[in-house]
Amino acid sequence: MNLLRRALALTALPAILLGAWWIASDGSTSFYFPPLREILAEFGETWTADRWAADVLPSVARLGAGYGASCLLGVGLGLLIGRTTWLMHLAEPVLEFARAVPPPVLVPVIMLFAGIGDTMKTAVIVSGCVWPILLNTIAGVRSADAVQLDTAAAFGLGRTRTLVSVVVPAASPRIVTGMRQALAVGVILMVISEMFAAQSGLGFAIVQFQRSYAIPAMWSGILLLGCLGVALAALFTLFDRAVLHWYHRMRERSA
Amino acid sequence: MRRPLALAVLAITLIGTVTACGGEEDDTGGTDTVSVGVIPIVDVAPIYLGIEQGFFAERDIEVELTEAQGGAAIVPGVAAEEFDFGFSNMTSLLLAQSSGLPVEVVANGVASTGEAGADFGAVMVAADSPVQTPADLADATIAVNTLNNIGDTTIRESVRAAGGDPADIGFTEVAFPDMPAQLAAGNVDAVWVVEPFKSIVEADGGRPVAWNYVDAAPDLTVAAYFATTEMVQEDADLVARFAAAVAESLQYATDNPDAVRDILATYTDISTDILAAMTLPAWPAEVNRDSVERLAELGETDGIFENPPDVDALLP
């Protein structure tokens, strides 16, 4: 019963919106806003196995590589900076500056040193994804309980033991929050990176459809992009539950 | 939980826009105000000159130029009646027409000079490149500003005409301003550039290997001013006056190349050296119909159209 209600709650709004879209657009003769009926029919025709192999998979692979690299870089540097007070004071203004630079304006610069291939696209994703993870990791590390840290020191735990057993668990809820934010940024940058010097990819395909006035196909690509976002968010929730089950249980108990 | 919100925004935007279509026409004291969507590049210098010379005012037209970010935004802008007229390259217009967008050319825009060695666009390579002839481009990576458009279809024709097979050319999209640096960095083997970027690449030591506009057709019409079919039919008088003013502007630009270079300094950031060095395009008053048919054929050969375009329906 509970499960049924949750399933209903999850699907109700999307169903209503799609229904409203369907009805509102049904008689549409507007070139740029074709009926949803046409878009869905186009969806099947457009996103064939070939297209998945040619455009969707390369995009997802670049997103995976960029996101993975961002996580490693963000958490690694975040732990280092968060645990080193002088480094944190030194780095803070620079970090705030760097995170405020919108990655799309960096693309032409990134193209100069990373070329125009997959490295460039991955680098663009990293250039935006790394900040939420890095800053959240630093904040998470700083928020580690002082009593716990003192206790660890009193028991003579080494630097590594303290990091693994006290700091990382304390920072992990913030790290996961940063990773969740970065995922959304990553999907956006995946599309943006493919608008420059691209030869394949989901974002590339959508722009091509738009330019060749294949508007239903363009909308089908946008829908696919949205679905990809939903799927990634769902996967992330699973990851979140697996890694932070103790934290969620603790919060439920205290609530 | 974030995605349903995105969908909601999407649906609301969509419903809002479907119902909010429709433009308005301004009539103030006998003068028609028209908005024209242009890209601030060399090609549209005549319309800037024509406004300055009063060719539009003479015909009771006040022109408001809107500088669009890229050519891709202009056709949708005209279709949505945000602009009354727009400037677009011919292949984009053929694409729009063949996809069912009701657009029609109302006046010529810009044309190739028709001279190999002295055109305003070319495929360029670095000085030390092994590429010597268009046929050598057959397996090269070539940067074009837009894929599946006038650049790649005409370059393929250059390669075919030189006896090469264009099937293995690796076209990649790079914005014109980024091309000189990408060529210098060796990220691409060749770049297709138009002025002023052609002169910038030349100043860096680049050399032209193919004159794709010249190879595609004699005196190729590259771009034109266009409006919606609805506008052409319902406001025939205004369209005719606009077309006449553009034609006069094109003639003026042809007769006064120095005025062109002067006006370019007002709306572009082209440096004085490059301004003096660059090759100006041709601005004939009439669209070259044969060349447009040729572009349609080339596009069909390369499979960029879903349906065959109707050149007669597009041209005046």
At B5 the pLDDT is 52
pLDDT of residue A254: 76
- Compute φ and ψ for B196, nearest 5 degrees: -85, -5
Indicate the helix (H) or strand (E) that contains A77.
Answer: helix A57-83
Q: Would an 8 Å CB–CB cutoff place B143 in contact with chain A?
A: yes
Give the pLDDT mean for A138-149: 89
Give the integer Cα–Cα distance in Å for A144 and A50. Answer: 49
Residue B16 reports pLDDT greater than 70: no
Find out whether A118 and A64 touch, Cβ atoms under 8 Å: no
Q: In this predicted structure, what is the pLDDT of residue A1?
A: 61
Name the one residue in this structure whose structure tokens are 């969620």: A248
Q: Are strands B207-210 and B121-125 parallel, antiparallel or unpaired?
A: antiparallel
Alpha helices in B175-227 (DSSP H): 179-184, 197-203, 212-216
- The percentage of residues in chain A with a pLDDT greater than 70, rounded to a whole number, is 99
Among B87, B44, B83, B112, which Cα is nearest to B292's? B112
Paired residues of B127 in beta bridges: none
Task: Please say if the pLDDT value at position A197 is more than 80.
Answer: no
How far is CA B21 from each of CA A212, A218, B214, B220, rounded to the nearest angstrom? 22, 20, 41, 35
What was the pLDDT predicted at A100? 85
**Number of alpha helices (DSSP H) and beta strands (DSSP E) in chain A:** 13, 0
- Given a contact cutoff of 8 angstroms between Cβ atoms, the answer to whether B110 and B283 are in contact is yes
In chain B, which residue's Cα lies nearest the Cα of A216? B99
pTM for the whole structure: 0.77
Q: Is B82 on the interface with A (CB under 8 A)?
A: no
Helix (H) or strand (E) holding A110: helix A103-114
Give the pLDDT mean for A3-32.
84
At B86-95, the pLDDT tens digits run 999 998 899 8
Q: Decide if pLDDT at B21 tops 50.
A: no
Cβ partners under 8 Å of residue A17, min gap 6: B4, B7, B8, B11
* C-alpha dist (Å) from residue B34 to B58, B72, B82, B86, B247: 14, 20, 10, 10, 17
Could B11 and A21 be called an inter-chain contact, meaning their C-beta atoms sit closer than 8 Å?
Answer: yes
pLDDT of residue B23: 37
Per CATH, the number for A55-254 is 1.10.3720.10
Domain spans of chain A, in order of start: 55-254
Do residues B109 and B103 lie in contact, with contact meaning Cβ atoms separated by under 8 Å? Answer: no
Per-residue model confidence (pLDDT) at position B284? 93
Where do the domains of chain B lie, and which CATH numbers do they carry? 28-112+219-314 (3.40.190.10), 121-216 (3.40.190.10)
pLDDT in tens, A72-124: 999 999 999 998 889 988 988 888 888 888 888 888 888 888 878 888 899 99
Chain A residues within an 8 Å CB radius of B170: 199
When the pLDDT of each residue in chain A is averaged and rounded to a whole number, the result is 88
Q: Does the beta carbon of B20 lie under 8 angstroms from any beta carbon of chain A?
A: no
pLDDT of residue B243: 93
What whole-number percentage of chain B has pLDDT above 70?
A: 90
Question: In this predicted structure, what is the pLDDT of residue B17?
Answer: 46
Residue B29, pLDDT > 60, answer no
* pLDDT value for A232: 92
Question: Parallel, antiparallel, or unpaired for β B31-38 and B26-28?
Answer: antiparallel
Beta-carbon separation of B14 and A21 below 8 A: yes
